[in-house]
A and B are shown apart, each in its own frame.
Chain A
Amino acid sequence: MSRTMNLTLNVWRQKDSKDSGEFEKYTEECKDISEHMSFLEMLDVVNERLIEKGKLPIAFDSDCREGICGTCSMVINGRPHGPWKKTTACQLHMREYKDGDVLYIEPWRAKSFPVLQDLMVDREALDSIVQAGGYISTNCGSAPDANSIQIGKEISDAAMDAAACIGCGACVAACPNSSAMLFTAAKLSHMNTLPQGKPEVAKRTIAMVEAMDKAGFGNCSNHLECEAACPKDIKATVIAEMNRGYAKASLLKR
């Protein structure tokens, strides 16, 4: 027997970036939700019922629905991506909830992430940081020999841990200061740790930190809420690396 539940949803509804927006409460539309649904499937059901009533469905972003693309941004009862550790909203399942639960669903809140509609925000500010230096410069032409660059396991593990970042922006959403330092530091750590990224470490570090500041994100106060919210378990130690690397690049680079 599978369990079903009736929920009360309070969802942030906002027509466009200029609208002031408000919470709207849904109960009729959230009846008989199966525990086997994912959180987004539950929202799909609610949306179908809204459409049947001739109402505007709730706008939210999603793409892969398997925890790898990072688009399903929403804050569920105060936690980005909901209550499950190391899990995106699309991978959260309704078995977490029980009959009668009341949920508040809000968009990411940051000046740098303007709300486009309802739960959808514009995360282009993160792209601007990657564009500033989240790449390596290399020659085109034939592919290099495999294994021509030897990388120790500890180094590749560290770089891959940082590379797990899917750019979802939950760190910004969770941070009381809307700081993007976990994201930026993850990208820097990923690139700067590997031999391919080494030649441009100083240039990249300065460019990405400057882009981060320019985009209007806040600063790190070491609350570590980002670490708790990150679906990919990026550790705040990358921020320490960035802090050190930025001073080194700014003060010692030729």
Chain B
Amino acid sequence: MSWFGNYIKSSIGAKHLMAITGLMLLGFVLAHMLGNLQIFMGQAAINAYAVKLQSLGVLLWIMRGGLVLAVLVHIYSAMRLVSMNSAARPVKYKMAFKDKSSFASRTMKWGGIILILFLIFHLVQLTLGGGPLKANFNLLDEYGRHDVYNMTVLGFQNVAVAASYLVAMLVLCFHLSHGVTSLFQSLGINHPKYNGMIKMAGPSIATLVLIGNCSMPIAVLAGWVKATV
């Protein structure tokens, strides 16, 4: 198996791990967003969705396990790449001209750090039921189901919480706008007929995720989606 070890340890192997785990995380981000958008269909719909998700049992734990693994490998590979890259350029230029790199491409590291902090905050708040908004976590709806609808709406009525989500989604948007196009390049998915589409994939998917995810806190702040308790 030394061939596999050599592959994983190589520069390109690290990029491939980055891209595959990035793709897994992207799949999660999209599925998570589509699920949550059901908040616009009302309390009954999203609370039923939450019950269905919880009832997946083993499958849910497999998905969670895969996700945790993806996050860990993504972060580990990012740390490896970042440290190799800074070691390769010990002396910086006095004048550094940027021709083709973008704000998004140059801030992948910082975006990643903000995203992991946000992820921890998000999990503590909404999955584990801790943090300042604990009270909302224990709400039940009329059928005795975990009241995801009101938990979310009440959470977003807190302007500070809503703002932190909006900022995190902007950061995610930049991370994805470079990252998604980048993952095609890293995996070598490349063809003159499709390169235009691949170039657009990052910015367009990132924008969709930004609009979709931000629509929820904005709708709550604007009073379009109201709490029922």
> Interface on A for B, CB 8 Å cutoff?
10, 23, 75, 77-79, 104, 106, 109-112, 174, 176-179, 181, 209-210, 212-213, 216-225, 227-229, 236-237, 239-247, 250-251
Q: Are B181 and A247 in contact (CB under 8 A)?
A: no
Which residues of chain A come closer than 8 Å to B178, judged between CB atoms? 222
Q: Give the A-B contact count at a CB cut-off of 8 A.
A: 142
Chain B interface size range? 35 or more
Contact assessment for A221 and B99 in the assembled complex, using a CB-CB cutoff below 8 Å: no
B89 touches A237 (CB 8 A): no
Task: Known A-B contacts: A75-B93, A221-B105. Give 13 more (CB < 8 A).
Answer: A75-B95, A78-B94, A78-B97, A176-B96, A177-B84, A178-B85, A179-B85, A181-B11, A210-B6, A216-B88, A218-B88, A243-B187, A244-B189
Is B84's CB under 8 angstroms from A222's CB? no
Question: Which residues of the partner chain A approach B100 to less than 8 Å between Cβ atoms?
Answer: 223-225, 227-228
8 Å CB contact of B15 from A174, A243, A245: A243
Question: Does more than half of chain B's interface fall in helix, strand or loop, or is it mixed?
Answer: helix
| Cα–Cα distance between A246 and B15 once the two chains are bound (Å) | 12
Task: Decide if A225 touches B90 in the complex (CB within 8 Å).
Answer: no
6 contacts between A and B (CB under 8 A): A78-B95, A104-B95, A112-B88, A178-B85, A218-B87, A242-B188
B185 touches A223 (CB 8 A): no
Establish whether residues B97 and A79, one from each chain, have CB atoms under 8 Å apart when the complex forms: yes
- Once the chains are docked, how many angstroms separate the CA of A16 from the CA of B194? 48
User: In this complex, what residue of A is CB-closest to B6?
Assistant: A250
Within 8 A of A (CB), among B21-66: none
Given the known inter-chain contacts A216-B88, A218-B84, please indicate yes or no for A241 contacting B93, CB distance below 8 A. no
Say how far B4's CB is from chain A's closest CB, in angstroms. 8
**Residues in A neighbouring B7, C-beta threshold 8 A:** 246-247, 250-251
Contact of A111 among B89, B95, B105 (CB under 8 A): B89
